[in-house]
Amino acid sequence: MERRGRTSERSLLLIIEDDAQVRESLVDLLAARFDVLAAPDSDEGLELAREHRPDLILLDRFLPGGDGLAVLELLQREPRTEALPVIFLTGDADEATLERCLEMGAVDFIHKPASARELLARIDRALRTSEQQRRLQVLAQTDGLTGLANFRALTIRMDEEFRRAQRYQYPLSVVIIDLDHLKAINDGMGHDVGNRAILALAAQLKNELRESDFAARFGGDEFVALLPHQTAMEAAVFAERIRSGLRAVGVQKSDGRPAPFGLSVSVGIADHTFEGPREDTESLMKAADAALYEAKREGRDRVVVFGRPASSPPAQRH
C-alpha cells in the first residue's frame, strides 16, 4: 500500500491500479499538484477510500480478484463513500463497457495510456463538477436561518451514526432541544425577535459541540444534537450547559432595546448503548421525544433523560 496522504488543502486523489509501473507513473505525475494515495488492489483501495474519503478516485477497470465495477458498487453501498467521484482507467475500447461504467455512476473514463495533458484536464473537470455538486448538496441540507443542518441532513446523518454505533458497539445519544414559548415571543414581539431567540439558541448549541458531534434544526423551535460515544447521562451534562448558558443570554427587540424576557429550553435525551440497544433510529428519536414531552409537562426549562424522573432545574435566573 502506497501512501502520500493529505498534507495540505490540495485535493486528495486515490489511485487503485494493479500495474505497478502505471501506478508509480501516475503517482509521480499527480503528486506535483495533488496529495496522492495509491493501492494495488480493490481491498486496499476500499480501505483507503473509507479511511480518507478522497476528493477523486482513479480506478482501474480490471483488478486482481474482481473488476472495477464491483469496487464502484461497493463504494456506492456505504454512506461514507457513496458520493466519491470515480474516473475509470481502462484499456478496453468496447463502447458497451464504457457505457456501463457511466451508467453505474462513474464521472468519466480515461483510456490507457493517456497523455499527461488529457489526464490532468479530465481530473480538473471532475473535481470542479464534484465541488459544484457538493456545494449544492450543502445548500440543500442547510437551514437558512441558523446555518445548521436541516431535517434532511439530520435523517441522513442519524442513519450513518446509528449504523456505526451498532457496528462498533459504542453509545450514541440523541438530544432534542425545544426553545420554550417561541410562539408567544413571535405573537407578542414579532418574528424578528423570535428569529433572534432561535439564533441565540443555535449559537449556544454550536459552542458546546465537539468535532464529532452533529446538530440540526429539526423544526421551527426544535433542534437535535447527535452525540457519538456519549451515554444519555453524559449528554445530559452537555444539555445542561446549553440550558444554563442560555439563561444568561439576552435578546434585543427590533428597536435595539433589551426584550423583557429570558430564554429557556426544554430538553429530552435518549441513548442507544450496548447494554440498552434501540431497534432503530425511529425508536431512538421516539424515546428522546417522550423525554422532551416530560420536560414540557413538568414545567419546561429543564433536562429530562428518558426513563429517569424529571427534576426541577437549579434556581438560576437573570
Q: Do both 173 and 85 map to the same domain?
A: no
Do 81 and 186 share a domain, yes or no? no
310 is a domain residue: no
* Claim to verify: residue 191 and residue 110 sit in the same structural domain: no
Same domain for 104 and 130, yes or no, is: yes
145 or 258: which leads in pLDDT? 145
Does residue 317 belong to any structural domain of this protein? no
User: Which contacts qualify for 156-160: CB closer than 8 Å, 24 or more apart?
Assistant: 156/79, 157/214, 157/216, 157/226, 158/226, 158/281, 158/285, 159/79, 159/281, 160/79, 160/80
Residue reference for cell 501506478: 23
Q: How many helices (H) and strands (E) does the chain have?
A: 10, 13
| Residue 121 placed within a domain | yes
Domain assignment present for residue 236? The answer is yes
| Alpha carbons 174 and 158: distance in angstroms, whole number | 9
Q: How confident is the model at residue 94 (pLDDT cuts 50, 70, 90)?
A: low
The Cα 285–Cα 282 span in angstroms is 5
Asked if residue 239 has pLDDT above 60, the reply is yes
* CATH code, 215: 3.30.70.270
At which residue does the C-alpha cell 489526464 appear? 119
Query: What's the confidence (pLDDT) of residue 1?
Result: 43
Same domain, 22 and 94: yes
Residue 34 lies in a domain: yes
Residues 122 and 166 in one domain: no
Q: Are residues 224 and 134 in the same domain?
A: no
Q: Which residue has the higher pLDDT, 233 or 82?
A: 233
Domain count, the chain: 2
> Would you state the cell numbers that stand for residue 264, as one nine-digit string?
429557556
Average pLDDT over residues 31-35: 93
Supply the mean pLDDT for the chain.
88
Check residues 315 and 82 and name the one with the higher pLDDT: 82
Burial zone of 57 (CB within 10 Å; 0-12 exposed, 13-18 middle, 19+ buried): buried
pLDDT tens string 151-166? 989 998 999 899 989 9
Domain ends where: 140, 172, 190?
A: 140
Confidence of residue 317 (pLDDT cuts 50, 70, 90): very low
User: What's the mean pLDDT in 216-222?
Assistant: 91
Higher pLDDT, 303 or 188: 303
Domain hosting residue 206, numbered range: 151-305
Q: Which is more confidently placed, 236 or 318?
A: 236
User: Is residue 28 domain-shared with residue 47, that is, in the same domain?
Assistant: yes
Among residues 118, 140, 162, which one ends one of the domains? Answer: 140
Whole-number pLDDT of residue 253: 84
- Residue 79's pLDDT is 74
**Domain assignment present for 32:** yes
Domain final residue, candidates 88, 121, 140: 140
Indicate the pLDDT class of residue 127, thresholds 50, 70 and 90: very high
pLDDT band at 15 (very low <50, low <70, confident <90, very high): very high
Q: Is 314 among the domain residues? A: no
CATH of the domain at 46: 3.40.50.2300
Q: How far apart are the first and last CA of the chain?
A: 60
Query: Do 164 and 109 fall within a single domain?
Result: no
Choice between 12 and 70, residue whose per-residue pLDDT is larger: 12
Kindly state whether residue 230 falls inside one of the protein's structural domains. yes
Lowest mean pLDDT, pick from 30-34, 60-64, 169-173, 246-250: 60-64
114: confidence class by pLDDT, cuts 50, 70, 90:
confident
Statement: residue 314 has pLDDT above 60: no
What pLDDT was estimated at residue 66?
66
Query: Does the pLDDT value for residue 316 go beyond 80?
Result: no
CA angle at 304 for the pair 302 and 305, rounded to the nearest 5°: 155
For residues 115 and 250, membership in a common domain is answered with: no
CB atoms within 10 A of CB 307: 13
